[in-house]
Amino acid sequence: MTADHTPPPPRAGTTLVLDLGSGPQGEPRLDVLGPLDDHQLEAALDEVALHQPEAFTRPHRIDHHDDTHHTLRLAPGTAGATFPWSILADLLTRPPGARARARRAVQPTAHQRELLADAESHPGRHIERLTWTWHGHLEPDRFRSAWQAVVDKELATRAAFSNGPQPTLLLHDHVNADVRWLPAGTADWADLIEDDIQRGMDPHLPPALRVTALGGPDHPGTTTPTHILLTYHHALLDDWSAHLLVRDFHRAYLAGGTLPGGERRPDLQDHLSWLHRQDTTPPRDLWSRPTPRTPCVSPVPLSTAEGPATGHSQIRISTDHTEKLFVWAARWGTTESCVLQAVWAVLLYRASGAQGPARVRFAVTASGRGIPLEGIERLPAALRTTLPLHVEVDPRSTVATLLTEIRDRTLDMTAHEWVSPGQIHAWSPPAATTPLEGSLLAFENTTHPPDTGLTTALHAEGIHVSRPEPLGAHTAYPLTLTARHDEEKRLVLTASHTPTPHTDASQALNHSTHLLTELPYHAADTTTIADLLHHLPTPTQATTRT
């Protein structure tokens, strides 16, 4: 909508003319030149009311002059300039099949509000993209129908946020899937991804995901693969959910573009109902405990005096080294995730320049699915959260002791992984929140057990699909290290940093990889943190202490 409140250009078949009050009584009016039925108008007005309740007032009178001319008038004295005309115009000019009628407005989770607020302050953050390759014949119409079936079945894909200072979550009965299919040769894949990045993702507009496919010729026997890009916003869907939706899409495609049964239960509303019933006293007690007197080092890791404004690096650890790390972690009664956290704690400690025992601080991700809600592991929603991890690093202590401390601390936290980072920050004592965590460690546990039946069914149609891989979302943290397993069961580490002179993604990645591959060969019962530090090169520059 422009500054003079002229509605956006209407779609074919309908023209809108807005007058903000030049009439004798100064009442705003909107002339609709085109077809307009009462159901369409009521659906649009309901949507406007949900998006901006503070600016909403229903038209005082509606005049139907004929089938192609209708006038909506606001009452005299109404602040027509503040009425959300752009939203109403968009809804009235949208093709009938594309209208999205809101079922109801519900309160989002605290974490969703926090992600949305950060995304609005920093456009481009919290948008993730999955890519995978489809080998074999692909039917574009069947492809689109399959994604529409997914959107029809999963309520979370039809959710969007209202506008305003206190946004609610709008749940829609029907939303058209946002699917674009391009024949091979019509675009460059790298350029297509860059265009998608520049486009961003608006969490205020359903659906909650966008699909782009760059495919081969539309005939059987083609050998040109189709590249698929799935874009979504973490305030509405997490990575676990995206993998679930990809599987649903493949099932729908095999079924001719349909999914059996109705909407999934539990759904998004079931999770929200469960969440709003929880007692926050136990997690409040956990995070409000007094912090130890051990000095806390700066959380900003691995600094360099000069460096690029942004960085993104990736390393794949060989299958052999990955298997050795898994076996070594199991020997200590822990997991690869806890080993990575221990390595990260040691790197932060070394970067701080501390000489004696010191606490380090960083954030870790939690799936948000370790809650007693039946079917939660199959629910698409924005459940993943981040939790602050504080751990003491003592050079005289053993690696085994550090692993045990991290494992126990992680277990304590994951019992309350349904709380938000903002809530934890509010509950924590000042010494535990100043400064805030400067790095995020994410071990993506989105590798669901292989669905051999689905794979076999796809192969029966001559189709092979690769495992979806994330491109990496920008987060609110200066440095993010993400770990996951690829299709060949290799451990993949991806490090990225935001514009700041205090971080170096490639150095963080190289040092993490070095320790992860060395630990299974050199760490024994008596190996100390000091011994581990000797295996690292001298840091380029140490961070300051606080």
CA atoms within 13 A on the CB side of 262: 4
pLDDT at 540 over 90: no
The pLDDT assigned to 434 comes to: 47
The pLDDT assigned to 164 comes to: 78
Q: Which tokens in the block code for residue 538?
A: 């001298």
pLDDT band per the 50, 70, 90 thresholds, residue 513: very high
The pLDDT assigned to 210 comes to: 97
Diameter of the chain measured on Cα atoms:
90
CA distance 363 to 478: 11
The pLDDT assigned to 5 comes to: 35
pLDDT at 147 over 80: yes
In whole angstroms, how far apart are CA 451 and each of 60, 256, 293, 454, 466?
Answer: 57, 19, 50, 5, 13
pLDDT band per the 50, 70, 90 thresholds, residue 6: very low
DSSP assignment string, 172-191: ES----EEEEEETTSS-HHH
Extended beta strands in 195-288, E state: 209-215, 226-233
- What residue has token string 């690769």? 466
- What residue has token string 């961070």? 543
Instruction: Find residue 315's DSSP bridge partners.
Output: 493
Tell me which of 113 and 70 has the higher pLDDT: 113
SS3 sequence of 448-512: CCCCHHHHHHHHHCCCEECCCEECCCECCCCEEEEEEECCCCCEEEEEEECCCCCCCHHHHHHHH
The pLDDT assigned to 503 comes to: 54
Please give the mean pLDDT across all residues of the chain.
83
At a CB cut-off of 8 Å and minimum separation 6, what does 386 contact? 363, 364, 365, 366, 421, 440
The pLDDT assigned to 369 comes to: 92
User: pLDDT, tens digit, for every residue of 73-93?
Assistant: 766 655 555 677 767 777 777
The mean pLDDT of 390-407, rounded to a whole number, is: 93
pLDDT > 90: percent of the chain: 49
The pLDDT assigned to 524 comes to: 87
3-state secondary structure of 242: helix
Tell me which of 466 and 34 has the higher pLDDT: 466
Q: Which tokens in the block code for residue 41?
A: 């108008």
**φ and ψ of 342, to 5 deg:** -65, -45
pLDDT at 331 over 60: yes
The pLDDT assigned to 152 comes to: 93
pLDDT at 232 over 60: yes
Residue-wise burial string across 451-480, b where 16 or more C-beta atoms lie within 10 A, e elsewhere: eeeeeebbeeeebebebbbbbbbbbbbbbb
pLDDT band per the 50, 70, 90 thresholds, residue 223: low
DSSP 133: E
pLDDT band per the 50, 70, 90 thresholds, residue 189: very high
pLDDT at 502 over 80: no
The pLDDT assigned to 79 comes to: 53
pLDDT > 70: percent of the chain: 80
pLDDT at 15 over 80: yes
| pTM of this prediction exceeds 0.85 | no
In whole angstroms, how far apart are CA 19 and each of 11, 16, 23?
Answer: 20, 10, 8
The answer to whether 424 and 412 are in contact (CB under 8 A) is no
Q: Other C-beta atoms within 10 Å of 266: how many?
A: 17
The pLDDT assigned to 166 comes to: 86
User: pLDDT, tens digit, for every residue of 208-221?
Assistant: 999 999 986 555 55
Burial class (CB in 10 A: 0-12, 13-18, 19+), 75: middle
